[in-house]
Amino acid sequence: MAAHTPWQRNRALAIVESYRGQRGTLLPILHDLQHEFGFINDEAVPVLAQALNLSRAEVHGVISFYHDFKRQPQGRTVVKLCRAEACQSVGANRLVAHAERRLGVTMGGTSADGSVTLEGVFCLGNCALGPAVMVDDQLHGRVDTVRFDSIAGDIR
Amino acid sequence: MTEAMTAEQITLYVPRDAAALSMGADKVAAMLRIEADRRGVDVRIVRNGSHGMLWLEPLVEVATPLGRMAYGPVTPDDVAGLFDAGFLEGMAHPLCHGLTLEIPYLKNQERLTFARCGIVDPVSVEDYRNHGGFAGLERALTMTSAEIIAEVTESGLRGRGGAGFPTGIKWKTVGDAVADEKFICCNADEGDSGTFADRMIMEGDPFILVEGMTIAAIAVGAKQGYIYIRSEYPHAVATMREAIRLAYQQKWLGHGIHGSTHSFDLEVRVGAGAYICGEETSMLESLEGKRGTVRAKPPLPALEGLFGKPTVVNNVLSLTSVPVILARGAKYYKDFGVGRSRGTQPFQLGGNIRHGGIVEKAFGITLHELLYNFGGGSASGRPIRAVQVGGPLGAYLPPEHFDTPKDYEAFAAREAMVGHGGIVVFDDTVDMAHQARFAMEFCAAESCGKCTPCRIGAVRGVEIMDRILAGTAPADKQLTLLEDLCEVMADGSLCAMGGLTPMPVRSAIKHFPEDFHRPAAAIAAE
Ligand SMILES: Cc1cc2nc3c(=O)[nH]c(=O)nc-3n(C[C@H](O)[C@H](O)[C@H](O)COP(=O)(O)O)c2cc1C
Ligand code: SF4
Ligand code: FES
C-alpha cells in the first residue's frame, strides 16, 4: 500500500485547484484527498467548503454518504471481502468468519498495530470466481481459507 | 524449440481482465516472458480482454497458423511444461482446449456486443479498427440525428441496466429537447451481485463504449459525456481512461471527430461505494458532487438531468449495443431475439456454477440452457436449488421455472426480472430464509434514506426475518407481517431499491416455503 502523507493544507488546496474549471468535482477531489492522506481529515471540510463555495454541512453530508470516504486512518493494507449473493453461494460467509479470526479484527475494524483494515463490500465484479477478495487494488478470486491465509501472510 | 522457431516472433495472449488477474494472470505473463527469454524464443505477449470463459482463467492463447490455441487455467508452475510440450506450436497438453473459437461455450454464442472482447488488444485503436471498430460511428457521421435515432428505435434495443426502457425513445426525448447543453451519461455503476459484463467490456473492448457514446452524442446533440464507474472497478477505470486518451489522440474524441464538424468530450468519473448510485437520478446527483439521494420523477432525466440539462442515461451494455446496430443496420440486430425483447444480451453466470462467465445469446434462451448447456451445472456438483436472476432486487427461482425464456415479458409474468442479465446459482445447501434476510439487510445498508418504507421498512424486515430464523415466534404470523411490510415497501417507495426488495423476499417465500417454517431448535444452527 502506498504510504500516505500527513495532512497538509497546501497540498489539499493544490488538489482542489487541479480541478478548477470543471463541474461537479467534489467526489474526484475527495478521492484524491483520500488517496493522498489515507482518509478525509476533519480539517479538509472547511477547506473544501470555502474553495467550492459550499456549506460545511453540505461537504460533511457528502463525505458521510459514501462508504468509500473514511474519517479515520485506515490500516496500511485494506482487505475487502465480498459479502454479496454470488460469493455467498460459494462460502463467503464462512470466509468472513475465517478472515476475522485470522486477522484478529472484526468486519469494519482495523488491527491494533494499524497493519490491516477488514471491510465487507457488496460485489467486486468477480462473481464467477468467488469468494472474491480485494487487497488494496489487487483482486483475488476463488479465495478459500488456504488462499486467504497465503494472502494474509503477505500483509505487513 | 527448433532453430526455425526463433526466427519468427510468436504471439501469446494473456488477459488483463480483472477476473483473470484475480487468478494470477500477471504472474503467468511474467513467467511466460522469463521462460521464453531463457529458451531464446522471440514471443510477443498481448494483454487482451477475457473471452469470458472465466473458469479457464488465466487462459493463455498462442497464435498458430490454424488460429489461436487455448490453454487454461494456467498457473506459473505450468509454464515450463507448456514450453516443453511445444505449446508455441499449438501442441497437445492436458491444459489445451484446442482452438479458442471452437470451444463450444464460445462457439455456440451469438456475440454482437462482445464480438471483439478477448480477441483484440483493448488499448489499440488499430486493432479495434481492424476488427470492424468505428464502422458504426463512421456511418452515423453520414446520417442526420433523426435517422440515427430512428435506426436505434427500429432495432428494438431496450435498456440493459434493468428497466428495459426503449433506448431510441429515450434518445428522441433528449434529441427533441431544446437546451444550450445536453449530456450523455453512461451508467457503469454495475452494483448488482452476479453481474460483471459492464466491467468486462470496459476492460476488454473499451473503444466500443467510446463509439456508442459518441453516436448517442451525435444523435441527441450532446457535447459532453461522463462514464460513471464504480470504485470497486479500478482496472476498468484505468483501461477506460487509457482508451479515452488514445481516442483523443487519434481524433475519435474532441473537436472535429474523424474529420467531421462534430465535437464530443468524454470523461470517467469514479463512484464511491454506494449501490444506490446505480439508480440514474442518484448517479446524476453523485456526478454533480452531491449525496446520492434519489430524485423524484418527473422531471425525467431526459428533460432535466445532469445540472438540470437534458441527459441520456444509459447502461454500458445499451450503449455498447449501438455500434453494431449502426454498422449492420437495425434489421440485422432486430432479427435476433423474441417478442418485444430484441437483439442479444450478454448473460452472466455466477455463483455456484461450474462454467461461470459471459454467455451472449439472443433473447429467448431458457434459464435451463444457460445453466446446464453452458454453465455445466453447479460448481459443487450438488443439485441447483435456486437461481437469483437480475441482481439483488431480482427474484429467486426454483428448478420448476428454469424453462423460462430470457425475455422481459416472460420474466415479468413470473414475477421476476431479466435485469442486467446476471444469474446467480445456489446449490441445495442454500438456506432461502437467510437469502430473504440478506435482501432486507442489503436494502437497509444501501438505502439512500429518502423515504420511510425503504429506510425503516428494510430494518423491520431484518428484524422479522431474525425472528423467523430463530423460530421464536409463530412463523405464520411473522410471514403475514412480512407480507404486509413487503406491500408497503413495494407500493410506497420512491424508487426500485425499496420497491423491488420485496421481489427476492416474496419469491423466496413463495417457491421455498419449507425454509421459512423453522423449529425453534434452529437457533443452535446460527
Ligand atoms: C437501486 C437501483 C440500482 C440500479 N443500478 C444500476 C446499475 O448499476 N447500472 C445501470 O445501468 N442501471 C442501474 N439501475 C437502473 C437505472 O436507474 C436506469 O434505469 C438505467 O441506468 C437506464 O439505462 P438503460 O435504459 O440503458 O438501462 C438501477 C436502478 C435502481 C433502482
Ligand atoms: S426507495 Fe430507498 S433508495 Fe429509493 S428513494 Fe426511497 S429511500 Fe432512497
Ligand atoms: S458477488 Fe462477490 S464478486 Fe460479485
- In this structure, the number of other CB atoms found within 10 A of the CB of residue B381 comes to 9
Q: Do B78 and B158 sit in the same domain of this protein? A: no
Question: Which numbered ligand comes closest to the C-alpha of B280?
Answer: 1
Chain B: give the shortest CA distance to residue A60, in Å: 10
Q: Do B274 and A66 touch (CB under 8 A)?
A: yes
Asked if the structure places residue B116 within a domain, the reply is no
> Which chain B residues have a beta carbon less than 8 Å from that of A134?
232
Q: Do B285 and B229 sit in the same domain of this protein? A: yes
Per-residue pLDDT at A34: 96
Asked if the structure places residue B521 within a domain, the reply is yes
Q: Do B170 and B294 sit in the same domain of this protein? A: yes
Nearest to B195 by CA among A129, A127, A91: A127
Output helix, strand, coil percentages for chain B, rounded to the nearest 5: 45, 15, 35
Residue of B nearest to A88 (CA): B351
CA distances from A109 to A87, A93, A114 (A): 21, 17, 10
Read off the CATH number of the domain in which B150 is found: 3.40.50.11540
> Which chain B residues have a beta carbon less than 8 Å from that of A137?
234
B298 exposed, middle or buried (CB, 10 Å; 0-12, 13-18, 19+)?
exposed
What does the pLDDT look like over B302-342, one tens digit per residue?
999 999 999 999 999 999 999 999 999 999 999 999 999 99
Query: What mean pLDDT is reported for chain A?
Result: 95
Ligand 3: residues within 6 Å at CB? A 82, 84-87, 123-127, 130, 132; B 193
- Minimum-distance ligand 3 atom for the alpha carbon of B195: 4
Residues B14-38, mean pLDDT to the nearest whole number:
98
Residue of A nearest to B190 (CA): A125
Q: Do B329 and B341 sit in the same domain of this protein? A: no
Q: How confident is the model at residue B4 (pLDDT cuts 50, 70, 90)?
A: very low
Residues 6+ apart with CB under 8 A from B231: A31, A68, B237, B270, B271, B272, B273
Between B100 and A152, the more confident residue is B100
Boundary (domain end) residue, out of B317, B333, B349: B333
Among protein residues, the one with the nearest Cα to ligand 2's atom 8 is B448
Beta-strand ranges (E) seen in B390-436 are 396-397, 422-427
CA of B458 to the centre of ligand 2 (A): 11
Q: Do B203 and B256 sit in the same domain of this protein? A: yes
Percent pLDDT > 90 in chain B is: 92
Per-residue pLDDT at A4: 87
What does the pLDDT look like over B348-359, one tens digit per residue?
999 999 999 999
Read off the CATH number of the domain in which B438 is found: 1.20.1440.230
Q: Do A137 and B23 touch (CB under 8 A)?
A: no
Residues A110-114, mean pLDDT to the nearest whole number:
93
User: Which among A52, A65, A124 has the least Cβ separation from residue B232?
Assistant: A124
What does the pLDDT look like over B51-68, one tens digit per residue?
999 999 999 999 999 999
Cell of B25: 494472470
What does the pLDDT look like over A22-71, one tens digit per residue?
999 999 999 999 999 999 999 999 999 999 999 999 999 999 999 999 99
Chain B: give the shortest CA distance to residue A114, in Å: 23
Q: Do B62 and B47 sit in the same domain of this protein? A: yes
> Which chain B residues have a beta carbon less than 8 Å from that of A90?
351-352, 379-380
Q: How confident is the model at residue B413 (pLDDT cuts 50, 70, 90)?
A: confident
What does the pLDDT look like over B248-300, one tens digit per residue?
999 999 999 999 999 999 999 999 999 999 999 999 999 999 999 999 999 99
Residues B207-211, mean pLDDT to the nearest whole number:
98
Tell me the DSSP string of B172-225. Answer: HHHHH---S--EEEEEE---STT--HHHHHHHH-THHHHHHHHHHHHHHT--EE
Residues 6+ apart with CB under 8 A from B329: B151
Q: Do B22 and A140 touch (CB under 8 A)?
A: yes
Asked if the structure places residue B58 within a domain, the reply is yes
What does the pLDDT look like over B119-129, one tens digit per residue?
999 999 999 99
What does the pLDDT look like over B447-483, one tens digit per residue?
999 999 999 999 999 999 999 999 888 889 999 999 9
Q: Do A123 and B232 touch (CB under 8 A)?
A: yes
User: Which among A68, A86, A140 has the least Cβ separation from residue B350?
Assistant: A86
| ipTM metric | 0.97
Per the structure, the complete domain to which residue B440 belongs is given by 432-525
Check whether A156 has a pLDDT greater than 90. no
Q: Do B190 and B314 sit in the same domain of this protein? A: yes
Nearest to B453 by CA among B482, B483, B487, B479: B487
Q: Do B233 and A125 touch (CB under 8 A)?
A: yes
Among protein residues, the one with the nearest Cα to ligand 2's atom 6 is B451
Q: Do B148 and B274 sit in the same domain of this protein? A: yes
Asked if the structure places residue B320 within a domain, the reply is yes
Percent pLDDT > 70 in chain B is: 97
Per-residue pLDDT at B2: 41
| Count of domains for chain B | 4
Asked if the structure places residue B325 within a domain, the reply is yes
Q: Do B328 and B373 sit in the same domain of this protein? A: no
The whole-angstrom separation of Cα A145 and Cα B5 is 43
Quote the CATH superfamily of domain A77-154: Glutaredoxin (3.40.30.10)
Per-residue pLDDT at B521: 52
Check whether A83 has a pLDDT greater than 80. yes
Per-residue pLDDT at B519: 75
Taking a C-beta distance cutoff of 8 angstroms, is the pair B277, B187 a contact? no
Boundary (domain end) residue, out of B288, B309, B333: B333
pTM for this prediction: 0.97
Q: Do B315 and B347 sit in the same domain of this protein? A: no
Between B510 and A2, the more confident residue is B510
Q: Do B255 and B314 sit in the same domain of this protein? A: yes
Taking a C-beta distance cutoff of 8 angstroms, is the pair B199, B328 a contact? no
Percent pLDDT > 90 in chain A is: 94
- What are the residue boundaries of the structural domains of chain A, listed by start? 9-65, 77-154
Helix (H) or strand (E) run with residue B502 in it: helix B502-511
Phi, psi of A30 (to 5 degrees): -60, -40
Boundary (domain end) residue, out of B333, B363, B394: B333
Read off the CATH number of the domain in which B67 is found: 3.40.30.10
Check whether B37 has a pLDDT greater than 60. yes
Q: Do B138 and B272 sit in the same domain of this protein? A: yes
Q: How confident is the model at residue A2 (pLDDT cuts 50, 70, 90)?
A: low
